[in-house]
């Protein structure tokens, strides 16, 4: 009997990257419950921009209640008719929903064996979904570990073009309190990823 092919070793740094993508996806897909708020309150960071943003998010999480963050989430992303922000690549890149960026993403997803879950009705170019996809590519959740080149291409095509702008808008949104700190973490992380990919491309 043939032994199963070993998955490529995933470095500690890549696991941490995937964890942060997953974590951002979790916070952006729905309002955190008390357990996630408690876990967020327990986070600590170093003196880097990202570390300081994580410290800030931790401080806000300590004084945030689930009911308050649910109201904030609804105002930001759902609203009456629509929320304050539309967290979709198509909207940020073209001004409209369900445009070419979504079609391009669906082609990439098909090539990589990714599919939208049957119980999800949001367009796939939602920021939360993109964070989750990137995490899955890094650790091989879609059948294989993506190469650095594949990660770079996915980031450049579907995240790097608009996510920093989105996270800046999240920090500045009128109804943002907890999510302003989420935006700060997202913006700092996008800067790190963009620079890391730029260096590996040289």
Given 1.10.1420.10, 1.10.1040.10, 1.10.3480.10, 3.40.50.150, which CATH number is that of 12-201? Answer: 1.10.3480.10
Where are the domains positioned within the chain?
A: 12-201
The model's pTM: 0.94
Please identify which residue in the block is written with the tokens 């959740």: 141
pLDDT, position 3:
46
Angle at 53 between CA 48 and CA 57, to 5 degrees: 145
How many degrees, rounded to 5, is the angle at CA 134 between CA 160 and CA 67? 95
In this predicted structure, the answer to whether residue 141 has a pLDDT above a threshold of 70 is yes
Angle, nearest 10°, between helix axes 178-201 and 12-29? 140
Six-digit token pair at 36?
Answer: 């996630």
Tell me the per-residue pLDDT of 81-122, one tens digit each, with 9 for 90 and over. Answer: 789 999 999 999 999 999 999 999 999 999 998 988 887 788
Q: Which two tokens stand for residue 163?
A: 């996510």
- pLDDT, tens digit, for every residue of 154-188? 999 999 999 999 999 999 999 999 999 999 999 99
Contact status, residue 127 vs residue 166, Cβ threshold 8 Å: yes
């Amino acid at each position: 009997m043939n032994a199963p092919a070993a998955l490529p070793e995933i470095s500690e740094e890549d696991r941490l990257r995937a964890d942060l993508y997953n974590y951002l996806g979790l916070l952006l897909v729905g309002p955190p419950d008390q357990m996630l708020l408690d876990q967020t309150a327990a986070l600590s960071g170093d003196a880097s921009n990202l570390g300081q943003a994580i410290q800030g998010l931790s401080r806000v999480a300590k004084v945030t209640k689930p009911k308050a963050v649910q109201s904030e989430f609804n105002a930001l992303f759902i609203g009456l008719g629509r929320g304050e922000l539309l967290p979709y690549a198509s909207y940020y890149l073209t001004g409209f929903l369900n445009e070419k960026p979504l079609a391009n993403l669906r082609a990439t997803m098909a090539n990589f064996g990714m599919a939208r879950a049957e119980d999800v009705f949001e367009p796939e170019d939602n920021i939360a979904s993109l964070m989750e996809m990137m995490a899955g590519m890094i650790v091989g959740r879609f059948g294989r570990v993506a190469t650095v080149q594949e990660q770079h291409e996915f980031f450049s095509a579907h995240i790097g073009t608009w996510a920093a702008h989105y996270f800046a808008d999240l920090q500045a949104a009128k109804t943002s309190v907890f999510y302003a700190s989420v935006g700060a973490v997202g913006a700092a992380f996008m800067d790190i990823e963009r620079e890391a990919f730029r260096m590996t491309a040289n």
